[in-house]
Structure 1
Amino acid sequence: MHSARSTAAIRSLSAVAAGALLVGCSGSVSVGNSDPKLSSDKLATTVSEKLAATTNQPEPDITCPEDLTGKVGTTTRCTLTANDGSTLGVSVKVTSVEGDQINFDIKADDTASPAPN
């Protein structure tokens, strides 16, 4: 059974997801080498900044498990974690690469996962 706090957090995460889906969200980062790759830490920071700007909310806690290779069509999954431990998946997909600049779309999942008990 969800507590009121857990339900509120899930609604909050769902609002972030809805905002990201309704407005659309994309990022662009220059990485400065011949084989462009964006580190997982820089990717997490960029995704957090873009979601915050898109939803007019504070920057969420985002973690990304792997670097993002600058090749069109490459995807990775990041995780947004709320203060109560509930999570929301975030997909990142490379849309274009221009020199050392990687352009990508960000899409949050529709539904959050409750915090582990």
Structure 2
Amino acid sequence: MFKARMTTGVSILAAVAAGTLLLGCSASVETKKSTPPKLSAAKLSSTLSAKLAAATGQPEPHVSCPEDLVGKVGTTTRCTLTADDGSTLGVTVKVTSVDGDQIHYDYQADKKASPATN
């Protein structure tokens, strides 16, 4: 009988998804002065990577965000977490409040990873 096994990357992604679903998933980041404030895509990516690693006890995953996060309540963006094997997991980021130059946001990983494309 054949037993399917999850790859290491998918296992890590599953741990990240479970960890972010079980924990309070919010963060705050102070930005450079602008109106409205913006958090660069690079800073958002690195902050999410650190938060996801802390939530799961795993090494920091590779996270890529396609655009800057505008500090306006309700603004959302989608980032992508990519495992070593190429499998991916989407992460939704939503601005919950803005206090001056500080953007507060919630984030949630998708419940299911997408397998690597060959």
**Alignment TM-score, normalising by the size of structure 1:** 0.92
Counterpart for residue 9 of structure 1? 9
Counterpart for residue 23 of structure 1? 23
Q: For residue 10 of structure 1, report the CA deviation from its aligned partner.
A: 1.6
List, as ranges, runs of 4+ consecutive aligned residues in structure 1 with deviation greater than 3 Å.
Answer: none
Q: For residue 9 of structure 1, report the CA deviation from its aligned partner.
A: 2.2
Structure 2 unaligned regions, length at least 5: none
Counterpart for residue 43 of structure 2? 42
Q: In structure 1, what is the Cα distance between the partners aligned to 2:16 and 2:63?
A: 13
Three-state SS of the structure 1 residue aligned to 2:54 is: helix
Task: Please identify, of 70-79 and 31-40, the stretch whose mean Cα deviation from structure 2 is larger.
Answer: 31-40
1:32 maps to a residue whose letter is: K
Counterpart for residue 58 of structure 2? 57
Counterpart for residue 84 of structure 2? 83
Count, aligned residues:
114
Three-state SS of the structure 1 residue aligned to 2:51 is: helix
Quote the RMSD (CA, aligned, Å): 1.3
Counterpart for residue 115 of structure 1? 116
- % identity of equivalent residues: 66
Are 1:63 and 1:79, in contact at CA under 8 Å, matched by a contact in 2?
A: yes
Deviations 1:31-54 (A, max 9, x none): 131410000000000110111111
**Alignment TM-score, normalising by the size of structure 2:** 0.91
Deviations 1:42-92 (A, max 9, x none): 000011011111111111100000000000000000000000000000000
